[in-house]
Amino acid sequence: MEIGKYSWGIGDRFTHQTEAQLRALILAKEAGIDITPVWNKSNREHTFIHSEPASTRAAADAAVKALGWKDQYFCDADHINMNNVDRFMDACDFFTIDVADYIGKEATAGEIDSFVKANENYTGNLTIPHIAKPFLITESELRAIAKKFLFAVKEAAVIYQHIVKAKGENNFVPEISMDEVNEPQSPVEMFFILSALAQYKIPVQTIAPKFTGRFNKGVDYVGNIKQFAVEFEEDLLVIDYAIKAFGLPENLKLSIHSGSDKFSIYPVMGELIKKYGKGIHIKTAGTTWLEEVIGLAEAGGDGLEVAKKIYDKAYKHRDEVILPYATVINIDFSKVPTPEEVNRWDSKKFAESLRHIRSNPNYNPDFRQLIHIAFKMAADMGNAYTDALKSHAGIIGKQVTENLWERHIKLLFGI
Ligand SMILES: [Zn+2]
């Protein structure tokens, strides 16, 4: 089971927008770009919303059927580990094996020695085609990389084999993620991580490193774009070389987590994948939930009331909603409006404050980030929220499709 060159993680927290999301990929297809839809939802999201992976599968299947989508599509068990993978086994055919928690734990001395020995031929000057300067790899550096990552790869292999046992080999797409850590991985680390993945026989098809800069949820990239471009390009080339050197799957590609709304690096990534003819996977789960709130606000009346109620709860419970996302948001509370203020807003003011259009003077990224992580508040409202989604399905669906197509996909592919 091989995933296509371009694929898009279109997570849907409440599983009401699968058709609207798929419509964006149909627009891409009509423009000549084939993008594989991957509905991803993490264990954390399922827990907050009290949903099960089977509901994601059912919604994906239904949307595919309703819109007559004939190409491949997947359901991603996003950020799983041994403790929660079983919950996803039947419903999913894409597994994001998260090794972040294992990075830094050491493999045995024997395992580290044999890894260093097996990769000895890459020490000295390592020349990667199209990267101007060779990397100088010392044995002690190689050993340090093994100490940092080998155990994590071994753990990934245990989880991978566990999935193989349940689903059979080649019946799912394996991704390895290591984005939820503090330090970015360098292209050299990426090279030896791929070597280890090959050694432990994980046919990884997508890999999600942590890049330089901040990938805060729901807002633009914060960091040095030039440095990001260098790192991204080197990662592409390192992967290309590693595929041949280690016999990894031909379609192995980068996966960009927290990939929604990183508008300032979209053209950079788009140009580089085009330059080298490479694929990409981008996860944009949270952005759809925000479009639901924007759509409710746009609807006015009871829709706007629901949007305001969510904000009121998010603001009052802000310490609680922030906790699980502390490392992936950066909210300046001096710039966040009070619920009393927001309660006086009309549809336009609320929607424009939330919608990610930087040129709009009402746009408030701090307000946006707070709502981004507040979906648990909507989940706690139960039917009051989902009934509103049904009543205003038309206007909400329009926001969802437009956001993915107009602001994300077109920007990445330079359409
Ligand atoms: Zn991630």
**Interval between CA 208 and ligand 1 midpoint (Å):** 7
Rounded to the nearest angstrom, the distance between the alpha carbon of 101 and the centre of ligand 1 is 12
pLDDT higher than 90, residue 368 = yes
The whole-number pLDDT of residue 187 equals 95
pLDDT the model gives residue 77: 97
Total-model pTM: 0.96
| Spacing, Cα 192 to ligand 1 middle (Å) | 21
How many angstroms separate the alpha carbon of residue 299 from the centre of ligand 1? 32
| Ligand 1 centroid distance, CA of 283 (Å) | 8
342 CA → ligand 1 middle, Å: 31
Spacing, Cα 392 to ligand 1 middle (Å)? 30
Residue 83 Cα to ligand 1 midpoint, Å, equals 17
CA of residue 31 to ligand 1 center, whole Å: 29
% of the chain at pLDDT higher than 70: 100
Per-residue pLDDT band for 343 (boundaries 50, 70, 90) equals: very high
Question: How far does residue 273's CA lie from ligand 1's centre (Å)?
Answer: 21
Report CA(258)–ligand 1 centroid distance (Å): 6
What pLDDT was estimated at residue 326?
Answer: 84
Q: What is the mean pLDDT of the chain?
A: 97
Q: How would residue 391 be classed by pLDDT, with cut points 50, 70 and 90?
A: very high
Strand 94-98 versus strand 74-80 pairing type:
parallel
Q: How far is the CA of 34 from the centre of ligand 1 (A)?
A: 23
Distance from Cα 79 to the centre of ligand 1, integer Å: 7
What's the 178 CA to ligand 1 centre distance in angstroms?
7
What confidence score (pLDDT) does residue 62 get?
Answer: 98
Question: pLDDT, tens digit, for every residue of 26-76?
Answer: 999 999 999 999 999 999 899 989 999 999 999 999 999 999 999 999 999
- C-alpha 338 – ligand 1 centre gap (Å): 30
Question: At 325, is the pLDDT very low, low, confident or very high (cuts 50, 70, 90)?
Answer: confident
Q: What is the mean pLDDT of residues 348-369?
A: 97
133 CA from centroid of ligand 1 (Å) = 31
Confidence (pLDDT) at 324 = 85
Do 282 and 258 form a contact (C-beta atoms < 8 A)? no
CA of 349 from ligand 1 middle (Å) equals 32
Q: According to the model, what pLDDT value does residue 40 have? A: 95
Distance from Cα 177 to the centre of ligand 1, integer Å: 7
